[in-house]
Structure 1
């Protein structure tokens, strides 16, 4: 079942269950997917059936990141009720994301990507990151992985 179908199925179930906050979040997800569909159609990049699952994972990842930043800002501002609402939305969004890799799994993935691409210096970082993104989209925080890849490539003495 593709990502769009999973979201729509969950949306229908939330309507039946009368789960208002869950329904609200699922509608936001659906709206973001439809916005991406429209943007892709306008630029001629859209697939026949709409955005791909990789695009949906990207959308969900951005939505999660935005809500984490908002929750942190609300906590700093003393608005714990709004921070809790953001965390509830994060929980709903993360149901559709693949399991995040732990630190040791990330290190193994970096090692595999370096070996597969034949990377030997920092100039090959783009190849390594491309390989990781192709295989682990939605499972790795690439903002945190970039410095690890750089360190790994620099330890080979080519920085």
Structure 2
């Protein structure tokens, strides 16, 4: 077992009951096989890359939804959210560095990188679409009941 957590020893497609929803972007680099399916699609270099990425991740979300795979649905939502948060960090902080060398939060700029802000807004649109999807909400509630 890896020191990074027990997720590496579980195939969540085979064992969806072991998937925990978690907070924020928890598990995006651990939960398999979804990490391996979604991470290659994820890019926020600029608005065009974000559009291609968010569209591909959303299409994967729809496949998970059609296959009734809640862990995959939730992981797709997390990748879309992470696209938004990472791109927005670069949009607000030059070089994407939120903290200085002393660990103190730097003053955000408005907008340090306008293209990253555009990328963030693309991801936000898709993230919101998934988060507000009735099928996602029903699957999430059913998963929590299990």
TM-score, length basis structure 2: 0.32
Bigger relative contact order (CA 8 A; separation at least 6): 2
The structure number with the bigger radius of gyration is 1
